[in-house]
Amino acid sequence: MGRGAAFFDLDKTVIAKSSALAFGRPFYRDGLITRRDVVKSAYAQLMFRLGGTDEQTMARTRDYLATLCKGWQVEQVRQIVAETLHELINPYVYAEAAALIEEHQAAGRDVVLVSASGEEMVRPIGELLGITDVIATRMAVQDGRYSGEVEFYAAGPSKVEAVGELATERGYDLTECYAYSDSYSDRPLLECVGHPTVVNPDRQLRRLATENSWPVLEFRHPIPLGRRLRERPAVPVAAAALGVGVGVAIGIAWYGRHRRTRIAPVA
């Protein structure tokens, strides 16, 4: 009981890109999604990064995700993520973030990825980093397919609710826990722990960090896992300290649109 935990946002905090947008590129290249899909999703991501994190914006993103995903096979989504994970995500993991994760684990703390991206995407990324605990968006599933409903949308205050439930279940003292994020939308997450740190912050978050005297980290060295293992020690986190995104979950939707079926249809 009470081992403590460190909660990490994913996009621009642990990896140097949007996890949702990352998986869209090969599908567009192969003609599996339309140009309109790419532009609309990229625009949504840009608006989110520029501060469009109010409840209405998050609700629209959630509903867009639900509509786009309806009817897709869950196993198909997982297969696509597995096929492209090492190409699209592994080279973009910040060495500083990987080192910090290892430091928390060595200190006996649980490490939890907390992301608005879909669980089918976030959990494999966590496994790549040696993390088994994730809080991510969950789509409702019926007969192996997405039903068109969002069971849990891991954004804004909802992240804090999930963190609180996990803390109660495991006996964490949140005043002794850590949180890391790059986005102002994660203000509730940062404020719910005793040790908030901002990483590669957007303008609003940098201002908030200054007002609250929160530590500021700048991560600048994305390095593939294999190279990190060969070149230990990784870039030290202390060297990156300067005093401090939420990936849009609609990325899951890109996996299946107009995709050639690679697995047998569900009976």
- pLDDT, one tens digit per residue, over 126-163 is 999 999 999 999 999 999 887 989 999 998 889 999 99
Q: How many domains does the chain have?
A: 1
How confident is residue 71, by pLDDT bands cut at 50, 70 and 90? confident
Q: What is the pLDDT of residue 34?
A: 62
Whether residue 210 is contained in a domain is answered as yes
How confident is residue 225, by pLDDT bands cut at 50, 70 and 90? low
Q: Would you name the residues annotated as active-site residues?
A: 9, 11
Whether residue 239 is contained in a domain is answered as no
Contacts of 192 (CB under 8 A, 6+ apart): 160, 163, 164, 174, 179
What predicted TM-score, i.e. pTM, was given to this entire model? 0.79
* Mean pLDDT, rounded, for 68-96: 84
**Which residue segment(s) compose the domain that 165 sits in?**
5-228
* Mean pLDDT, rounded, for 68-84: 79
Whether residue 241 is contained in a domain is answered as no
Rounded CA-CA distance 251/248 in Å is: 6
Whether residue 256 is contained in a domain is answered as no
Question: Taking 70 as the threshold, does the pLDDT of residue 98 lie above it?
Answer: yes
Structure tokens given for 190: 């940062």
Structure tokens given for 59: 């609700």
Half-sphere exposure of 130 (CA within 13 A, CB side): 12
Q: Of 10, 20, 21, 154, give the one whose Cα is nearest residue 93.
A: 10
pLDDT digits (tens, 9 = 90+) for 154-205: 988 899 999 999 999 999 999 999 999 999 989 999 999 999 999 999 899 9
Q: What is the pLDDT of residue 80?
A: 79
State the CATH number of the domain containing residue 202: 3.40.50.1000
Whether residue 242 is contained in a domain is answered as no
pLDDT digits (tens, 9 = 90+) for 3-22: 799 999 999 999 998 887 77
Whether residue 149 is contained in a domain is answered as yes
How confident is residue 99, by pLDDT bands cut at 50, 70 and 90? very high
Q: What is the pLDDT of residue 117?
A: 87
Q: Are 35 and 28 a contacting pair, CB within 8 Å? A: yes
Rounded CA-CA distance 236/83 in Å is: 31
Q: What is the pLDDT of residue 50?
A: 55
> What are the CA-CA distances from residue 54 to residues 49, 50, 85, 156, 264 (Å)?
12, 11, 31, 9, 41
Q: Of 23, 42, 70, give the one whose Cα is nearest residue 252.
A: 23
Whether residue 260 is contained in a domain is answered as no
Q: What is the pLDDT of residue 258?
A: 42
* Mean pLDDT, rounded, for 21-47: 62
Whether residue 187 is contained in a domain is answered as yes
Question: Taking 50 as the threshold, does the pLDDT of residue 123 lie above it?
Answer: yes
How confident is residue 39, by pLDDT bands cut at 50, 70 and 90? low
